Chains A and B, each alone.
Chain A
Amino acid sequence: MRRAWFVVARREYMEGARSKWFVFTCLLAPVLFVALLGFTAWAQLRGGGKTARLVLIDETREAIGNDVAAALEAGQLGDGQRFAVDLAPPATDRGALARRVEVGELDGYLVLPADVVARGGRVVYRGANASSNIDMAILEHSLRTAIVASRARALGLSPAQATALLAPVPFETRQATVAGAEVNAGAAFALAYVVSFLLYIGIVLYGVTVMRSVLVEKSSRVMEVVVACARPWDLMLGKVLGIGMLGITQLAVWMALAAVASTFQGPLLAHFGGTDAASLALPSVGAGLLVIIVLFFLGGYFLYAAIFAAVGAANESERDAQQAQMPVMMVLTAASVCFPVISGAPRDSLAVVLTTLPFSSPVLMPMRLLLTPVPAWQVALSLALLLGAIVLALWCAARIFRVGILMYGKRSTLRELLRWVREG
């Protein structure tokens, strides 16, 4: 004989999987995501081949204007954009230049002050493209190259000596992880952020689905027959498990699609600017770490889904529930706002506390695990507290469920909820 929670879970899963919404998000969301990526890439590329025109006013005693202009014109962006530079004498009317920028004849103008080489006077650029990070990075790089070269000349260094002096110092960071493996720090950081963000999104998306499911049973009045067939605990457990499985299915579909897409990774990357594909390889995550991350994900989902279910049970309409879920959302969002706290100092005591508390550990501990070795006892303590919180939340939710599902037509106060939990 099937257990009641299994029957409930199967219903939630099958009805969810049949819904148009689910099929839509499973198949269309990745398509939209890829389309969005493609669109941004295309939007950046279409600037390619264009030339940014600027005027350079050279007030320097050393007359380094030509060198700067040459360096600027030699610089090239990934998308092939170039600068075209006109030199202008110090007496040039700035107002007229500003007007030319305004009407679009010019992209901007640059003023090299007289003392820039000797005393480091401030170079000022005014232009319509000053907000473009890429353009400004090129501009700054070219300026620095030309000015440093002329300073070297002033010090009597030969070009070869200057080059030797300015040779870059190779510096690489490797993040020590719990698995003991060293990984590229940038990639570890990116992975930690992506994983934690996905956990946050997953918990919110499917937690709210659980709440909706409870509300539908209440508003359709089917609840009374259902509670006459199964214990509230079975209903809670079944709902949370069924919808959780739905989430895992969705994740699996997305990962399968991503795997298919990644076989085209090489050609795609080559198309978008020829970046070395190997440099983007993510740090490999050990199986043990993966299991722990999955445990935290499931734990976080269970904890918040139980709370969302209780919110659904305690409220009559979707609108009331939307309001009542705000505090829950705020706790979860507050946890995800703490991402930088963890990534900034993963071994700090604040990070330890945040990754131990059950309400924040599901989204923050995976990040910390990916960034730094975490003592086993801390992981164990965090998981144990999370498990305890889940049991408590499910238990409370089942009791609120039992009473709340039969309360129609009135909103419940926090005091009433506490009474329901006591009397359940």
Chain B
Amino acid sequence: MMAPFMTEAVVALSDVTKRFAGHVAVRGLSLSVPRGVLYGLLGPNGAGKTTTIRMINDIVKPDAGTITLFGALPPGRAAQRRIGYLPEERGLYPRMTVRRVLSFLAELRGLGRAEVAPKITRWLDRLELGRWADAKVETLSKGMQQKVQFIATVLHEPDLLILDEPFSGLDPLNADVLRDIVREQKKAGKTILFSTHLMEHAEQLCDALCIMARAQRVLEGSLADVKLHARDARNAYRVEIARKTGEPPAALSMRPGVAVSRAPGNGGAYDVELPPGESASDLLRRLVDSGEEIVHFERSVPTLHQIFVDQVRRHDESAAAGGAAHA
């Protein structure tokens, strides 16, 4: 259905499965994150996003399938040096000073102490933490600690950023700081993989995405493709007429199986969903014949939120049906 990405994949999962005692966290997952792309891993809580991210980071090992990073590397030490990881559960050594904790994490990734020191200074100054450099982490506010965490993620100039639910627990100011960093990293050609269950963030930020539900991939592709495909899969239209008050025009719903709802806005706009096979031309003709003044008529593009809810619900239904069939 979706055209494969033509660029080299920075992260490629092929039929990856991970079981924990009693349940399957990830089942037969394949996905591909192209270079230089902001890639969203979307799904409800418990869909397997964090397990997927941990497998890429070599924190847990897959039971089956292969993971290839940067075109050639398996998850492990060599790949870890090129990854900046911001986990959902975040924390720093409370008794260490900000500078030392940053230096330690960068050195773990193979940087030299001397080479990392000026970078720390630059980043701390940039995020207005300069005068806290030699303070212990435990004396910093939660918000400041989060900023230190961002710095730790990008300090070693990774080629791939992996952010697990990056906006959860952030105050609005820090959310902006992180968004700026992410955009800037992308501009510098870095690849960013992030997970979220908040569709607004995904819609604003990501170029490509994978929706997961119940440990499986529901769909994958570029945001534009996903939206186009979702638009084409539905027979839905946005109709706006000049008349802003009163009942919806009868012409919209005179056929059986048509769903009409008033669209948000200044009135006069309606979302119309036609049954499959119904022609938009017929709808338009009926409207014209009814004498309503048509201001605007377009095929509706669903929001990512709608796509997500649709897809996850459809997946759940088919999973339930499949389960029933097996029983």
Contacts and interface: CB of A to CB of B under 8 A. Distances in A.
A11 interface: yes
Given A1-B110, A231-B77, A406-B59, A225 B93 contact: no
A105 interface: no
A406 B164 CA distance: 15
Interface size classification for chain B: 20 to 34
A2 B107 contact: yes
B212 to A, nearest CB: 20
Contacts of A11: 104
Interface in A379-419: 402, 406, 408, 419
A15 interface: yes
Given A4-B77, A15-B96, A222-B93, A229 B105 contact: yes
Interface string B203-235: 000000000000000000000000000000000
Nearest to B21: A419
A229 B94 contact: no
Contacts of B77: 4, 230-231
A11, A226, A228: residue with the most chain B Cβ atoms closer than 10 Å: A228
A228 B94 contact: no
Interface in A1-20: 1-2, 4, 7-8, 11, 15, 19
Interface residues of A, number: 26
Nearest to B95: A15
Contacts of B80: 228-230
Contacts of A2: 107, 110, 112
B57, B91, B110, B112: residue with the most chain A Cβ atoms closer than 10 Å: B91
A191 interface: no
Nearest to B89: A221
A408 B89 contact: yes
A217 B104 CA distance: 14
A7 B77 CA distance: 14
Nearest to A226: B108
A227 interface: yes
A35 B216 CA distance: 69
Contacts, number: 69
B91 A221 contact: yes
Contacts of B152: 225
Contacts of B108: 4, 7-8, 226, 229-230
A228 B91 contact: no
B323 to A, nearest CB: 27
Given A225-B152, A227-B59, A220 B107 contact: no
A123 to B, nearest CB: 66
Interface in A206-234: 216-217, 220-231
Given A2-B110, A15-B96, A216-B94, A7 B85 contact: no
B94 A220 contact: yes
Contacts of A223: 91
B93 A220 contact: yes
A8, A217, A220, A419: residue with the most chain B Cβ atoms closer than 10 Å: A220
Interface in A49-68: none
A1 B94 CA distance: 27
Interface in B72-87: 77, 80, 83, 85, 87
B198 interface: no
Nearest to A14: B100
Interface string B106-120: 011110100000000
Given A4-B108, A221-B90, A226-B108, 14 more contacts: A4-B77, A7-B107, A15-B93, A216-B93, A221-B87, A221-B91, A223-B91, A225-B87, A225-B90, A225-B105, A227-B57, A228-B57, A229-B109, A406-B54
